[in-house]
Structures are given as structure tokens and as C-alpha cells.
A and B are shown apart, each in its own frame.
Chain A
Amino acid sequence: MQNKISVDDFVYMKGINKYFGRVVALDDVYFSIKPCEIVGLVGDNGAGKSTLIKILSGLYPPTKGVIYLDGKKVNFSSPRDAINAGIETTHQDLALVDDLEIHRNIFMGREPNRLLGGFIPHLDKQKMIHEAEKALENIGIQGDNISVEDIVRNLSGGEKQAVAIGRAAYFKAKLVIMDEPTAAMSLKETKKILELMVSLKEAGSAVIFISHNIHHVFSIADRLTVLSRGKKIADLKKSETTEQEVSSIIMNN
């Protein structure tokens, strides 16, 4: 297993432990990802996938363990810290605010301001709308009858994921964490989302793809990390394994 830090790792999580009371959610887990790499994080329910990425996205501190970014030790005390370090996370169903317009969602928490009369802060709505259109254009979903002034509630599940991916791409994230992006999606939408994740990689982002669906993960990942009951049980290059092997590792553990 790749438990040693490598010079070109973007993220290296070393010996991560997480306890919730007496429940051990993660037990000495090592995880790494390189720039422009897609790593599939797979495992059954309760394997610890979500806990691991919540630690990486600044939502929880680890009970024990260290995170290195570009070889430097970091301490995330809030999601803001992780975002500032270039880590964008798209949580399952929790990425967007349904009642806000697309452009307000894209700039949520990072709203551009201009000064009215030199001293009154004012949302730069024109910039928000214009840049949001560019963000959607970049990922190729502009024009499909979607206006950035629509509220998110009216979008399909696939369109919502696309907006979240567009947001990560717009802010030039170094790492995009996608939690179950293809859950409950139609075949067509799944195909589109997988393509968008590959285009994120091509644009220079590393991607962590968490899913129950080995088939989806296998189709685009460079490497697969398998968790089971809080432990890492396998870390395989896609070129050196098969879908069947990964499935049987998960099933038999």
C-alpha cells in the first residue's frame, strides 16, 4: 500500500484516526492524491469515506493524524481554511441552496463587492451574473435553457451537480471532492457528470470521487482507495486491477 509520502503528492493524510465517543470511525488511515489525479474512494456504508473527506474539507478535526498539503503540514479548523487551500467539496445533496439563483450559489461565501460612492459595499451583481455565465459555459451547460438567474430548485439533479462542478472549476480548485455525485442520476446525467469530472482533471484539478457504484468509479479513476470499517484495506492503480477484483475486495471484507 502507498503509505509513504511522495514528493509529488498534493494531499497526504498520515495515520488519521477519528473517534466519535467510543465509536472508531477511522483507524490509522493513510490517504494521498497527486495533482491531476482522479482517486476513487470506495467502500460499503459505514466504511468511513464520508468521515475521511469531512476531515479533509475542514468540517471535523481528526482525533489523531496529520494532513500535508504540497508537503507542508496543515491544520484545518474550518471549511474556510480548506477552501483557501484550494480544496472544494461537493457534499451529497448539500452543495447548493435551492431557493437561491444559480449565480448567487456560485458566489456564495465569496461574493464580489464593489464600492458605491467609494465607501458603501455593494454586491457586484453584474459581475456575478456575467462570471456565472462564463462558469457554466466553461463546463458546457450554458444554453440548455438554463439562465444563471434561475433558482436552483428548478434544476434537475444532474444540472445541480454540474453547477457545483462549475463552481469548483471556476475557482480553480486544486482538489475537488465529490461525494456521491452520480447517486440517483439518470444514465444520461451520469455520463455527463463523469465527463465533467474528467474535464476537471484535464483543467488541472485533482478529484476525489466517492461512490457506491464501482462501475462509475472504475470508468474514470486513476487509482482506487478502498475503506472498510474505518480501515484502508486496498489502494490500487486502475491499470493493475480489475473491476471484479475491487468488488470482491469490498464484498469479502
Chain B
Amino acid sequence: MVVSKLKKGFKLKGLGVLIAVIALAVAFSIANSSFLSPYNLLIIIRMASELGIIAAGVTLLMVAGEFDLSVGSVYALSPMVTAILYSKFNVSIILAVMAGLMLALVLGFINGFITTKAGIPSFIATLGTMMIYRAIVLVLAGGMPIKISSDSLISNVIGGTIGGVFPAAIIWFLFVIVISYYILECMDFGNRICATGGNKKAAIAVGINTTRVKIITFMFTSFLAAFAGYVQAFRLGSVAPLNGRGFELAAIASSVIGGTSLLGGVGSIIGTALGALITGMIRNGIVLLGVSVYWQDGFLGVIVIVAVIINIFISKRRR
């Protein structure tokens, strides 16, 4: 009974990733006993947090049947605009952050608008905006990192630590996971996201405005990408123009490891959170093992492929 409830709760796929997380933790801790030390665990989860915040949005969007390759660029662009407003135009930091977050919503709207109104695949639409947004970052910054406030209240709240040890990033990560889970599983909008990505024509036939669902989800995804950018920017005290490169694919990888389908309609926020955690564990564990960091992405690649094979195997057995 308990097991069947557990299985239902994780929809089996989530359970698969959880087993993978535990297996990796055991393997790495056997290889290096300091892997499971509290200090190292905090580092892993913090590393997972920034990616996880982005991946939560990317998962919702994938469930709605769309991709966003521009998240890495938005991750850099919004904080960059804030840094420039703050450093060069003396705008108060809180207003500059507001402006950056508003900008993220606009960027997400542009992604959604191009995808739905021009009717081109979002993979192409956001491949284009990824390049455009990145170019704007580079032009604005002139290729150089720009300082952002690091001692204000907002910088401490978003990118600081609690008691000098516990990164705020982790709390934000959990917060975003809870919100995203709530949207997908507990709100009518979540049901409409699933319907839109699962069978767009059926969704339209029951009166769901799928264009609106997609545009709102694009905006939410962009907002989270920008927010993750602030978490990093305030932690480091500056914004570099190449921040977030490659995050779009890492976010998709986290979602896929967590059981989200590339075809839309199916996804798990908890799976994605665990997928982001696996990414953090591998990046960290490989360093602890003394393996060349050049292997990091190679390891992740193996995990992605194995995860998808397992997920397909599980979903076939469910039928």
C-alpha cells in the first residue's frame, strides 16, 4: 500500500532518478569519503541550484511541447542590464533588478510570440533569440565583466548566505521547485500545460487557448532563467558576458534525466530537481575523484543516454 502510493507519487520515473541519485552518492562516497561531508553536500546542492531553477522552467515548457534554447542568454542578459544600470547610470539596485526581471518577461514573450504566431518550431525560434540575446549582452558589456552590487539587502537575499554557510541559492531552488510543482500538478493551468503539450488539437477542441498557455510558460521560463542569473551574479559580485553558455542544453539534460519527454505532455518537476542534483554530483564527484574536468560533460552525456533508455523502458512496461 505504502509502496504503491510512493510509486504513484513519483510516477515511477521519479523513483528511477531517485535510485540513480542514491547509487551515484554511494559510488562517489566509496571513492572519496569526503563526498558526503556536510560542507561538500552544500557545495553540490548549490551547484545544482542555479541550473535547477532554470531547468524547472524548461521542464514546464517541455511539457507544453516547446523548447527554450535562449535561457542561457537570458541568464546573462537580465543581470547584465541590471549591472549596467547600477554601475553606469546609478540606478538603485532594487529598481535595476526589477527592470531586469521585467526585461526577462519581455524576452520570454518574444520567444513565445515568434513560436506561436509565426508557427515555427521553438527549437529554431529560440536558437535565433539565443544568439540575438547573447549578442546584445556582448554589445552592452563590450566584452568585459561588469560589477553588480554585492553588499545591498537584495544581493544578500538573492545571492548571499545564511550565517555565512548556507547558500540562499538552495532556498530559492527549493522555493522554485515547490512553485513549479504546484503549477504543474495542483493548478488548472498545469492541466492545460499538459493538455497543450500532450495533444494540442484536443486541447484546442475543449476550448483551451494553447497560444496563451505557451506564451505564459515561455515568460515564466525566461523569468526563472533571469532569476538564476541574479543568484549567480550576486554571489560573485559581477556579471560576465559569457555567463550561462551551455546552460540551455544542461537544463534540457536535467529535465530529460528526470523523466520529462522530448515530445511534450509528460514531465516531472521533482524528477528535474533530482536531474539537476545528478548534474551537480557528477561535476563535483569527478573533481573529488581526481579525474580530469574535461571528462565532466562526457559523464553527463552517458547519464543522459542511460536515463532516457531507462525511462522508455519503464514507460513501455507501464502500458
Contact = CB atoms under 8 A, between A and B. Distances in A.
A97 B201 CA distance: 9
Interface in B163-193: 186-188, 190-192
Q: Which of A79, A80, A97, A122 has the most CB of B within 10 A?
A: A97
B191 A111 contact: yes
A116 to B, nearest CB: 9
Contact of B188 (A83, A84, A121, A154): A121
A147 to B, nearest CB: 11
Interface stretch (A19-27, A66-74, A88-96, A216-224): A88-96
B93 interface: no
Given A100-B191, A123-B191, A154 B319 contact: yes
Contact of B199 (A57, A59, A96, A121): A96
A110 B205 CA distance: 12
A109 B207 contact: yes
Which of the four size classes fits the interface of chain B? 20 to 34
A106 to B, nearest CB: 10
B208 A108 contact: yes
A100 B202 CA distance: 12
B237 interface: no
A95 B205 contact: yes
B194 interface: yes
Contact of B201 (A94, A108, A109): A94
Contacts, number: 80
Interface string B202-242: 11111111000000000000000000000000000000000
Nearest to B264: A99
B195 interface: yes
Contacts of A84: 207
A98 interface: yes
B191 A107 contact: yes
A191 interface: no
A202 B230 CA distance: 61
A94 B191 CA distance: 17
B202 A80 contact: no
Given A95-B202, A96-B202, A99-B266, A108 B209 contact: no
Interface string A10-47: 00000000000000000000000000000000000000
Contacts of B186: 122-123, 125
A116 B203 CA distance: 27
Nearest to B188: A111
B57 interface: no
Given A121-B187, A122-B186, A97 B205 contact: no
B199 A94 contact: yes
Contacts of B265: 97-100
B319 A109 contact: no
Contact of B195 (A57, A59, A100): A100
B198 interface: yes
Interface residues of A, number: 30
Nearest to B194: A100
B255 to A, nearest CB: 16
A199 interface: no
Given A78-B209, A98-B198, A59 B188 contact: no
Query: Interface SS of chain B: helix, strand, loop or mixed?
Result: helix
Contact of A91 (B187, B190, B194, B201): B201
A127 B215 CA distance: 29
A109 B207 CA distance: 6
A109 B210 CA distance: 10
A154 B318 CA distance: 9
A97 B207 CA distance: 14
A104 interface: yes
A153 interface: yes
A238 to B, nearest CB: 29
Contacts of B199: 94, 96-98
A213 interface: no
Q: Which of B187, B190, B199, B319 has the most CB of A within 10 A?
A: B199
A109 B205 CA distance: 10
A252 B266 CA distance: 48
Nearest to A97: B198
Contacts of A122: 186-187
Contact of B191 (A82, A83, A95, A104): A104
Interface in A114-137: 121-123, 125
Interface of B: 186-188, 190-192, 194-195, 198-199, 201-209, 265-266, 319
24 contacts: A59-B205, A79-B204, A79-B205, A79-B206, A83-B206, A83-B207, A84-B207, A89-B205, A91-B202, A94-B199, A94-B201, A96-B199, A97-B202, A100-B191, A100-B194, A100-B195, A100-B265, A104-B191, A104-B194, A109-B195, A109-B208, A110-B206, A110-B207, A123-B191
Given A91-B205, A125-B186, 16 more contacts: A57-B205, A78-B209, A79-B204, A79-B205, A82-B207, A91-B202, A95-B202, A98-B199, A99-B194, A108-B203, A109-B206, A110-B206, A111-B191, A122-B186, A123-B188, A154-B319
Interface of A: 57, 59, 78-80, 82-84, 89, 91, 94-100, 104, 107-111, 113, 121-123, 125, 153-154
